[in-house]
Amino acid sequence: MASIKLAGVTRAFGPKRAVDNISLDVKDGEFLVLLGPSGCGKSTLLRMLAGLETLTDGEIHLNGSRVDLLPPSARDMAFVFQSYALYPHMTVRRNITFPLIMRHHRWWFHIPLIGHLAKRRIERQPDVAELVDRTARILALTPMMHQLPKTLSGGQRQRVALGRAMVRKPEVFLMDEPLSNLDAKLRTAMRAEIIKLHQQVGGTFVYVTHDQIEAMTMGTRIALMRDGVVQQLGTPRDIYADPVNTYVARFIGTPPMNLLTAELDGRGGVVAGGAVLGLPGPLASLQSADKAVVLGVRPAALAIRPAGEPGTLAGEVTLVEHIGAESLITMKLASTRTLHSEDGSAADEVIATSPGYSELSAGLQVGVAVDTTDAVLFHPGTGERLW
Ligand code: ATP
């Protein structure tokens, strides 16, 4: 059982607040992902959980007891680093066994021959060997237990690092971008390994990444951060379908959500680029005429029609990308502005996804039909969700 409570956790470096007054609960057995761009404070927050960074303000509780004043070793949390941090001169077996050897550590372990024999004795204890062998089996490391880390691939090294964390049977696993040194294919494989690991060994996981696909596939909940502040905390589905602001809306989803400047028409619809679009129930009731809004629609909600078709926005295809199962169509809109960049500055392009191999080509004039069933509306000034 391991639940974590963060209350007003803050870490300042000089005038900069890397982590700014974060309060959240991590439930027992949860896989919480801290997601955000480089520099948003996610590693600092994880390091404070581990005890590798002090708090400027706030408290951290593990199972109801305050731990932020305790040293890392007293917290029962295992940390897996991006860089693996394996001992290069030790075999895979010794690397995985190392935390168990350290539990029995005595000063004379440093004396070369005596220390060596003592460590080997611990390594060969039936309960220790059995636990290490079982861990190696789960991680498919059994055939390479006598190898040194330098003879392993990146994925295998990361599995050794995971094994070393697992044998401690910690209450909490803390992982800081553990897959970021791996190539795309290995990342996908290791992603699945870590999800399985969580299902098999249980425990509470807090996992840092800047990769939204990792966050969406692995997390039971995601805390999406920006400038030291949690923008939204929710299940992957909540964050995708119900973003609280334009930052979250653009961060999650590939390609990102299209944000179109629009105006409520006072009759249950919205006007964008001269086209009147109907809105679904809750949005339709939010009417006040001439009110400027930002209309958020996912790329799959845009369909390409012949130019001039009633109810569509006039546009021109500027780029067609074939990515296998679907094509990405970028279009420049004739008279609608979009909020495109993360700083909210206006542009005029939208992206649609179209199933299969699209035969469209750049330069073609089209009409863009917008399905507003799952659309969201934001305030044009603050970027906050309007309902
Ligand atoms: P990345 O993915 O690049 O590691 P991050 O989201 O994990 O980014 P942090 O490493 O937590 O971000 O850093 C958050 C902010 O705090 C950054 O602006 C960083 O420069 C600053 N920072 C972190 N550690 C220190 C430090 N020891 N001294 C000064 N500033 C620091």
The answer as to whether 175 is a domain residue is yes
Give the binding-site residues of ligand 1, using a 6 Å CB cut-off: 13, 18, 36, 38-44, 210
CA distance 372 to 374: 6
Q: Are residues 211 and 357 in the same domain?
A: no
Q: Are residues 102 and 218 in the same domain?
A: yes
pLDDT tens per residue across span 292-326: 999 999 999 999 999 999 999 999 999 999 998 99
How remote is the CA of residue 42 from the centroid of ligand 1, in Å?
A: 8
The average pLDDT across 244-273 equals: 90
DSSP string across 208-266: EES-HHHHHHH-SEEEEEETTEEEEEE-HHHHHHS-SBHHHHHHSSSSPPEEEEEEE-S
Of 186, 213, 246, the residue that ends a domain is 246
The CATH number covering residue 120 comes to 3.40.50.300
Q: Are residues 321 and 366 in the same domain?
A: yes
The CATH number covering residue 318 comes to 2.40.50.140
Which atom of ligand 1 is nearest to 45's Cα? 11
Q: Are strands 291-297 and 302-306 parallel, antiparallel or unpaired?
A: unpaired
Which atom of ligand 1 is nearest to 177's Cα? 2
Q: Are residues 121 and 235 in the same domain?
A: yes
Q: Which stretch of 2-16, 291-305, 346-360 has the lowest confidence by average pLDDT?
A: 346-360
pLDDT tens per residue across span 60-71: 999 999 999 999
How remote is the CA of residue 60 from the centroid of ligand 1, in Å?
A: 20
Residue in 35, 43, 176 to alter for ligand 1 test, most ligand atoms within 8 A of Cβ: 43
Which atom of ligand 1 is nearest to 41's Cα? 11
How remote is the CA of residue 164 from the centroid of ligand 1, in Å?
A: 26
The answer as to whether 385 is a domain residue is no
Domain that holds residue 142: 4-246
Instruction: Write the residue with the smallest CA distance to atom 11 of ligand 1.
Output: 41
Q: What's at 129, amino acid-wise?
A: A
Closest CA to 153 of 92, 81, 90: 92
The answer as to whether 106 is a domain residue is yes
CA distance 9 to 67: 12
Task: Give the three-class secondary structure for 298.
Answer: coil
Q: Quick one: pLDDT band at residue 224, thresholds 50, 70, 90?
A: very high
Q: How many CB atoms lie within 10 A of CB 308?
A: 10
Q: Are residues 32 and 172 in the same domain?
A: yes
Of 198, 224, 246, the residue that ends a domain is 246
The pair phi, psi for residue 319, each rounded to 5°, is: -155, 135
Of 182, 215, 246, the residue that ends a domain is 246
Q: Are strands 313-322 and 365-370 parallel, antiparallel or unpaired?
A: antiparallel
Would you tell me the crossing angle of helices 154-167 and 92-103 to the nearest 10 degrees? 20
CA distance 275 to 272: 5
Instruction: Write the residue with the smallest CA distance to atom 30 of ligand 1.
Output: 13
How remote is the CA of residue 123 from the centroid of ligand 1, in Å?
A: 38
Q: Are residues 225 and 264 in the same domain?
A: no
How remote is the CA of residue 13 from the centroid of ligand 1, in Å?
A: 9
Q: What's at 50, amino acid-wise?
A: A
Q: Please tell me the predicted confidence (pLDDT) of residue 99.
A: 87
Q: Are residues 229 and 337 in the same domain?
A: no
Q: Does residue 338 register a pLDDT over 80?
A: no
Which has more confidence, 146 or 81? Answer: 146
The answer as to whether 329 is a domain residue is yes
The answer as to whether 386 is a domain residue is no
Q: Please tell me the predicted confidence (pLDDT) of residue 153.
A: 87
The pTM score is: 0.88
> Could you give the number of structural domains in the chain?
2
